[in-house]
């Protein structure tokens, strides 16, 4: 093999390696980051701007003994909590694939801990290690999302104490210690959404609101005091209404059209209103249910448009309630 200095810029490579090993990262521009997050998450500007400012403060640290940030996103279903985590992964770590996402509804059993940190040596699957620890050992620069944390078994929460508190977690299979000090950990919760919404309306001071939200979650019995104590920042998401929901639905219609190789040029306002009314009935089931409503309304029409060779399309609402899709030059 050729000498390294003959095929690359060794000085630059060394600088990159030094920056990576020391935990240095590019400076965060608060306005730029907030704008990038707002492109994907609508109606939560009060969250994105404060979040970008906080991440800048934590991201700039060169030496850490804990994760970059331990965050809690709370609020009603379908308000953008998971989407914001994805947007953060894309912005901070350059790729959504650098986000590890766990639905805590799948971590209800105590044995689920094996999935995350691996079985002890000698047990089946020990050669692969834990799903969480192995991923972080391979790449410590991650955003790690635990959706609906209140659904996880209490034994699962035990590993959070080391992960969030010390920035370390041992892989049970190999004995290697995964380093979480370059990771961001996000927990989401829909627990007590109505009560938390009321707190948000009553309390204007952010620190007082954060303490009140933590107290509400702990008092509800689904959230442990030790976990609450390790959370650096709580962000309360607002219920989405009116034009904000219309923007989200329009964005999802654009995404669906794109998945069929089409560009959506225009959507009739009556069609958007129908979609809003239909998705209202499914709001408690979250964003996927909303996407299902849109898919039921538009997918067949998009397929027909694709088969007809359309590239850009115009969606109209017919008097009989049907959908008309026409090509746009």
CB 308 within 8 A of CB 325: no
* 6 assigned to some structural domain: no
Same-domain status, 199 and 311: no
Among residues 236, 267, 284, which one ends one of the domains?
Answer: 236
Q: What is the pLDDT of residue 288?
A: 67
Same-domain status, 52 and 139: yes
* 14 assigned to some structural domain: no
* 22 assigned to some structural domain: no
CB within 8 Å of 243: residues ≥ 6 apart = none
Same-domain status, 37 and 87: yes
Tell me the angle at which helices 287-307 and 269-280 cross, rounded to the nearest 10 degrees: 140
Same-domain status, 232 and 257: no
Same-domain status, 42 and 144: yes
Same-domain status, 232 and 249: no
Total structural domains in the chain? 2
Same-domain status, 285 and 204: no
Same-domain status, 51 and 94: yes
CB 199 within 8 A of CB 209: yes
* 62 assigned to some structural domain: yes
Among residues 209, 236, 263, which one ends one of the domains?
Answer: 236
Radius of gyration of the chain (CA): 23
CB 160 within 8 A of CB 144: no
Domain range for 278: 242-327
Same-domain status, 232 and 131: yes
Helix (H) or strand (E) holding 147: strand 143-147
* 257 assigned to some structural domain: yes
CATH of the domain at 302: 1.10.8.60
Q: What is the pLDDT of residue 23?
A: 45
Q: What is the pLDDT of residue 322?
A: 80
CA 312 to CA 329: how far, in whole Å? 7
Mean pLDDT per 10-residue section of the chain, whose length is 329 residues: 69 63 67 94 92 94 90 89 95 91 93 90 82 94 94 87 93 93 94 82 85 86 84 90 83 93 93 83 64 90 94 87 85
Same-domain status, 137 and 163: yes
CB 128 within 8 A of CB 122: no
Among residues 198, 218, 236, which one ends one of the domains?
Answer: 236
Same-domain status, 231 and 264: no
Q: What is the pLDDT of residue 58?
A: 94
CATH of the domain at 144: 3.40.50.300
Same-domain status, 154 and 268: no
Measured in degrees and rounded to the nearest 5, phi and psi for residue 313 equal: -130, 155
Q: In sequence order, what are the beta bridge partners of 186? A: 71, 145
């Amino acid at each position: 093999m050729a000498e390294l200095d003959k095929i690359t810029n060794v000085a630059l490579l060394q600088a990159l390696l030094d920056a990576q090993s020391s935990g240095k990262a590019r400076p965060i521009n608060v306005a730029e980051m907030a704008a990038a997050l707002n492109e994907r998450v609508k109606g939560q500007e009060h969250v994105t701007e404060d979040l970008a400012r906080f991440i800048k403060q934590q991201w700039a640290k060169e030496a850490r003994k804990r994760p970059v940030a331990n965050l809690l996103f709370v609020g009603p279903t379908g308000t953008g909590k998971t989407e914001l985590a994805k947007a953060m992964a894309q912005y901070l770590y350059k790729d959504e694939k650098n986000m590890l996402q766990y639905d805590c509804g799948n971590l209800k059993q105590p044995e689920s801990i094996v999935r995350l940190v691996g079985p002890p040596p000698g047990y089946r699957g020990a050669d692969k290690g834990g799903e969480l620890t192995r991923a972080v050992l391979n790449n410590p620069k991650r955003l790690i999302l635990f959706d609906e944390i209140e659904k996880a078994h209490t034994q699962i929460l035990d590993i959070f104490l080391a992960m969030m508190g010390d920035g370390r977690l041992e892989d049970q299979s190999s004995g290697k210690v995964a380093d979480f000090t370059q990771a961001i950990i996000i927990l989401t919760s829909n627990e007590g959404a109505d009560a938390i919404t009321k707190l948000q309306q009553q309390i204007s001071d952010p620190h007082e609101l954060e303490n009140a939200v933590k107290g509400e979650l702990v008092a509800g019995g689904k959230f442990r005091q030790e976990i609450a104590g390790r959370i650096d920042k709580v962000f309360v998401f607002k219920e989405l209404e009116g034009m904000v929901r219309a923007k989200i639905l329009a964005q999802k219609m654009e995404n669906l059209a794109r998945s069929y190789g089409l560009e959506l040029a225009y959507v009739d306002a009556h069609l958007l209103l129908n979609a809003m009314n239909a998705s209202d009935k499914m709001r408690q089931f979250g964003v996927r249910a909303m996407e299902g409503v849109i898919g039921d309304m538009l997918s067949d029409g998009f397929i027909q448009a694709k088969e007809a060779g359309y590239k850009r399309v115009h969606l109209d609402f017919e008097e009989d309630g049907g959908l008309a899709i026409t090509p746009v030059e």
